[in-house]
């Protein structure tokens, strides 16, 4: 698959899943209704069916079976499937589907256009020359769309989360008519403020250390030495001499892809580093020094790295960030 096609498909999955994230409550695909006290899945109430027990029409055994069939077993199956996917392919959910990570990447891009680096916490500016040879100088005018994006995404996330808990069309109507209840207003104001701070100042920290979903994916992935991982072609590392660390600079999680697996604990398998390397190599994906591997090749990446032939220590560490 050509790298440009890869990133195009990833963009489509991100947009599609973000739309699903917003539309799932109003379409009654998935939400928890606080007023009803149960989940609604694909338009149907999902309960543990304990009403019969409460009205004395069923015994404890039947109630226990219902709890297993409609509660514990489905949850265990979903968790097991999610852990297996992470064990096999790493944090692929984060890089390809997560609606939060898609926001992170958009704000990263806008921030880079505005101040020359994806985070205000990065110590050094990224090179103006992009992997495809174009030059992109920072422009402070992009601070306005950056801040606007932060606020808009914070509001979208806040409203969407509230619709997962209360009837969506009631929330939409209350917002449009300015008739939000006190509790609804407090939730939206507090959540929007928290998301603004997080999106603007701490989005990378949240993805790395604050997201339980991401953390469990990383732990499952690290437990499998043969899981899919980014591999660096060390035999042809001399080709990196004419590169300005494009793969490091492209990584949304501020990682260094040309290293061993345990140093890429939070890798989201987004493939941006592969794309950057391919563009540097003239757009030929076959010439990329970075690629996905698994099995025996992946297991080797758990070993300490050898020196990169033809690449200086200064060049390997250039562009390292703390954001």
pLDDT at 57: 63
> What pLDDT, in 10s, does the model give residues 256-280?
999 888 889 999 999 999 999 988 8
Query: pLDDT band at 51, cuts 50/70/90?
Result: low
- The stretch 143-154 carries a mean pLDDT of 97
151's tokens: 């606020």
SS3 20: helix
pLDDT at 225: 92
The larger pLDDT score, comparing residue 294 to residue 47, is at 294
> What pLDDT, in 10s, does the model give residues 209-249?
899 999 999 999 999 999 999 999 888 888 888 788 899 99
pLDDT at 304: 55
pLDDT at 307: 42
- The stretch 140-168 carries a mean pLDDT of 97
Mean pLDDT check: name the lowest of 49-53, 106-110, 310-314.
310-314
Proportion of the chain above pLDDT 90, given as a percent:
63
pLDDT at 23: 97
DSSP label of 69: I
- The stretch 15-38 carries a mean pLDDT of 94
pLDDT at 58: 63
pLDDT at 91 over 70: yes
Pairing of strands 290-293, 229-232: antiparallel
pLDDT at 37 over 80: yes
- The stretch 6-15 carries a mean pLDDT of 92
Give me the long-range contacts of 215-222 (CB less than 8 A, separation at least 24): 216/83, 216/86, 217/82, 217/86, 217/90, 217/91, 217/93, 217/94, 218/86, 218/90, 218/91, 218/265, 218/266, 220/83, 220/86, 220/87, 221/86, 221/87, 221/89, 221/90, 221/91, 222/261, 222/262, 222/265
The larger pLDDT score, comparing residue 161 to residue 123, is at 161
Nearest CA to 203 out of 268, 135, 125 is that of: 268
**CB-count exposure of residue 30 (10 Å: 0-12, 13-18, 19+):** middle
Please check whether residue 209 is in contact with residue 202, taking contact to mean a CB–CB distance below 8 angstroms.
no
* Predicted TM-score of the model (pTM): 0.85
- The stretch 193-220 carries a mean pLDDT of 94
Phi first, then psi: give them for residue 45, nearest 5 degrees: -70, 130
Please check whether residue 128 is in contact with residue 235, taking contact to mean a CB–CB distance below 8 angstroms.
no
DSSP label of 265: T
Q: What is the CA radius of gyration of the chain?
A: 23
Proportion of the chain above pLDDT 70, given as a percent:
89
- The stretch 19-24 carries a mean pLDDT of 97
pLDDT at 318: 42
How far from 162 is each of 101, 182, 188, CA to CA, in Å? Answer: 20, 13, 8
Helix H or strand E segment including 38: strand 38-41
Mean pLDDT (the chain) is 87
pLDDT at 2 over 80: no
Please check whether residue 41 is in contact with residue 30, taking contact to mean a CB–CB distance below 8 angstroms.
yes
pLDDT at 323: 40
């Amino acid at each position: 698959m050509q790298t440009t096609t890869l990133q195009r498909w990833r963009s489509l999955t991100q947009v599609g899943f973000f739309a699903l994230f917003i539309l799932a409550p109003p379409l009654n695909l998935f939400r928890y209704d606080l007023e009803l006290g149960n989940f609604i899945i694909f338009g149907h109430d999902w309960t543990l069916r304990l009403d019969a027990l409460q009205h004395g029409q069923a015994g404890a055994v039947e109630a226990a079976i219902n709890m297993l069939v409609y509660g514990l077993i489905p949850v265990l199956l979903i968790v097991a499937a999610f852990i297996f996917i992470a064990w096999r392919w790493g944090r692929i959910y984060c890089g390809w589907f997560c609606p939060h990570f898609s926001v992170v990447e958009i704000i990263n891009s806008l921030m880079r256009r505005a101040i020359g680096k994806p985070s205000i916490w990065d110590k050094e500016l990224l090179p103006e020359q992009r992997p495809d040879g174009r030059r992109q100088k920072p422009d402070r005018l992009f601070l306005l769309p950056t801040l606007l994006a932060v606020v808009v995404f914070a509001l979208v996330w806040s409203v969407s989360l509230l619709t997962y808990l209360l009837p969506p069309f009631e929330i939409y109507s209350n917002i449009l008519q300015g008739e939000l209840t006190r509790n609804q207003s407090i939730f939206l104001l507090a959540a929007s403020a928290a998301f603004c701070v997080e999106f603007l100042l701490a989005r990378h920290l949240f993805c790395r250390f604050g997201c339980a979903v991401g953390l469990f994916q990383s732990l499952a992935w690290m437990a499998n030495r043969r899981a899919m991982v980014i591999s660096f072609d060390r035999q042809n590392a001399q080709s990196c001499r004419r590169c300005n660390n494009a793969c490091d600079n492209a990584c949304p999680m501020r990682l260094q892809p040309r290293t061993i697996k345990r140093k890429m604990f939070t890798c989201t398998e987004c493939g941006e580093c592969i794309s950057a390397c391919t563009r540097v190599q003239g757009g030929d994906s076959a010439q990329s020094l970075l690629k996905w591997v698994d099995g025996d090749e992946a297991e080797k990446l758990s070993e300490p790295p050898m020196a990169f032939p033809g690449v200086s220590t200064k060049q390997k560490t250039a562009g390292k960030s703390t954001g």
